[in-house]
C-alpha cells in the first residue's frame, strides 16, 4: 500500500513540474518570439492569387472616428436567441420564409441533407447564389402533375442568421421539359407544406457543426449595412422594402432600450427616448422621497428617421430637433439598432 501511495505522489509531482523537469524545453510561448517574414516573391507571368495572406488585416480609414476618440462601450444584453436554436416561419407582403439563427455557411449543408433524407435530391445547387433546385417529384395525392421546388438561402436581417424562401412549380407529367419557373408559387399550399417540413427538420436537428467553405458568401451581400461616409453622418442601409424595414426598426428599438414616445409612419419618423444603462439610478433616499418614481413624462431626446432612398431604405438617428449628433454618438446608437434588428 505504501509503495502505491509513493508511486501516486511521484506521478502528481511530475505532472505539476511539467516536461522541464525531464530536460525537455517548454515551447508553448515560442510564438511570441516569431518575426515577420518577407512576402513570397512570385515570378512574372505566374498566377499571384494562389498565394496570399492567410489572415489579412483590413485597412482602417484614417478619418475613422475610432482612431480619434474611442471608449469601450458597455456590452449589450445577450439575446436568448444567441444560446438556443431558433427556427420560425415568417410572412410579410405576400412572402413567406423560414428564419433560423445560424449563418448561411452552416445552414447550406443542413438544408441539402434534409432534402436528401426526404427523397427530394437537388438537381442544381449554386452556393454562390444560395439557390437549390430540386428534381421533379411525384406526389400520391396528385397523379396528373409533377412538382419541383427552388430554395433561396440568403443572409438574414438579424446578425448571424439566414432566411430560406421557396418557390413551387408544377407541370403536367411528360411535359416537364417545357416548364419554366413562375414568379410566384403555382400552389401556395405546396409551398407552405414544404417550408413547414423543412422548418420542423431544422428545428429537430442536433448537429450544427458542419460548415460549407464554398458558401461563405452565400446569397450575396448582407441585407443590412452600417455606412460611415467621410463627410455626412453615419446611417444604416437596408436592402429591403419600406414595410419590412419599418417593422424591423420598431422591433429593434423596443429590444434595444429605446422607449417609443410617438411615431409617424407616413413620414417614417420615430420619436424616442433613450437613456444609457450606465446612467446612475436614484439612490435609496431619492426613491424614498419620491424622486424617480416613474410618473415623470418621458421627453423625446432622439428621432429615428426611416426613409426610402432609391431601391434601399436608410435609417438615421438625429436629435429631438432634427440636429446632427456627431459621428461617435450616431454610430453608438445605430449599432444598438443594428444588433437588435430581426
What CATH number does the domain containing 97 carry? 3.30.530.50
Q: Is there a domain that residue 268 lies in? A: yes
pLDDT tens, N- to C-terminus, the chain (342 residues): 656 666 666 655 555 555 555 556 777 788 778 777 777 777 887 776 666 666 667 766 555 555 555 566 555 555 444 545 588 888 887 888 998 888 888 888 888 888 888 888 889 988 778 899 999 999 888 889 999 999 999 888 888 888 899 999 999 999 989 999 999 999 999 999 999 999 888 887 655 555 555 555 666 678 888 888 888 889 999 998 999 899 999 988 888 888 889 999 999 999 999 887 655 455 555 555 555 555 567 788 899 999 999 899 999 999 988 888 888 888 989 988 888 887
Is the Cβ–Cβ distance between 73 and 276 less than 8 Å?
Answer: no
Whole-number Å distance between alpha carbons of 289 and 273: 25
C-alpha cell, 240 = 429591403
Any domain includes 104: yes
Its domain, for residue 187, covers: 80-215
Residues 6+ apart with CB under 8 A from 314: 235, 236, 237, 238, 306, 307, 308
Instruction: Select from 188, 145, 146 the least CA-distant residue to 166.
Output: 188
74/259 Cα distance (integer angstroms): 19
Same domain, residue pair 324 and 261 = yes
User: How many domains is the chain partitioned into structurally?
Assistant: 2
What global pTM score does this model have?
A: 0.63
Contact between 312 and 221 (Cβ < 8 Å): no
Identify the H or E element spanning 192: helix 188-204
Q: Same structural domain for residues 127 and 173?
A: yes
Residue 316, C-alpha cell as written in the block = 438615421
Is there a domain that residue 36 lies in?
no
Amino acid at each position: 500500500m505504501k509503495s502505491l501511495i509513493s508511486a501516486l505522489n511521484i506521478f502528481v509531482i511530475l505532472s505539476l513540474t511539467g516536461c522541464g523537469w525531464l530536460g525537455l524545453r517548454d515551447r508553448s510561448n515560442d510564438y511570441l518570439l516569431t518575426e515577420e517574414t518577407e512576402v513570397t516573391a512570385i515570378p512574372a507571368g505566374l498566377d499571384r492569387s494562389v498565394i496570399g495572406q492567410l489572415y489579412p488585416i483590413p485597412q482602417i480609414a484614417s478619418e475613422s472616428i475610432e482612431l480619434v476618440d474611442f471608449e469601450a462601450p458597455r456590452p449589450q444584453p445577450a439575446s436568448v436567441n444567441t444560446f438556443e436554436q431558433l427556427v420560425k416561419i415568417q410572412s410579410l407582403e405576400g412572402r413567406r420564409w423560414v428564419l433560423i439563427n445560424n449563418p448561411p455557411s452552416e445552414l447550406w449543408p443542413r438544408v441539402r441533407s434534409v432534402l436528401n433524407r426526404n427523397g427530394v435530391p437537388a438537381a442544381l445547387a449554386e452556393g454562390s447564389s444560395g439557390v437549390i433546385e430540386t428534381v421533379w417529384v411525384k406526389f400520391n395525392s396528385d397523379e396528373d402533375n409533377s412538382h419541383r421546388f427552388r430554395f433561396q438561402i440568403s443572409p438574414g436581417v438579424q446578425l448571424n442568421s439566414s432566411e430560406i424562401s421557396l418557390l413551387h412549380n408544377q407541370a403536367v407529367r411528360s411535359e416537364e421539359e417545357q416548364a419554366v419557373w413562375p414568379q410566384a408559387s403555382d400552389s401556395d399550399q405546396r409551398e407552405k407544406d414544404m417550408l413547414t417540413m423543412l422548418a420542423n427538420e431544422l428545428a429537430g436537428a442536433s448537429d450544427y457543426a458542419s460548415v460549407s467553405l464554398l458558401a461563405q458568401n452565400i446569397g450575396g451581400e448582407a441585407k443590412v449595412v452600417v455606412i460611415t461616409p467621410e463627410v455626412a453622418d453615419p446611417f444604416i442601409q437596408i436592402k429591403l422594402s419600406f414595410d419590412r424595414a419599418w417593422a424591423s426598426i420598431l422591433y429593434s428599438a423596443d429590444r434595444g432600450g429605446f422607449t417609443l414616445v410617438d411615431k409617424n409612419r407616413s413620414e417614417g419618423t420615430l420619436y424616442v427616448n433613450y437613456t444609457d444603462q450606465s446612467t446612475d439610478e436614484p439612490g435609496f433616499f431619492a426613491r424614498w422621497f419620491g424622486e424617480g418614481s416613474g410618473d415623470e413624462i418621458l421627453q423625446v431626446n432622439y428621432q429615428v428617421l426611416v426613409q426610402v432612398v432609391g431601391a434601399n431604405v436608410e435609417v438615421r438617428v438625429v436629435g429631438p430637433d432634427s440636429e446632427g449628433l456627431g459621428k461617435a454618438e450616431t454610430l453608438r446608437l445605430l449599432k444598438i439598432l443594428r444588433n437588435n434588428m430581426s
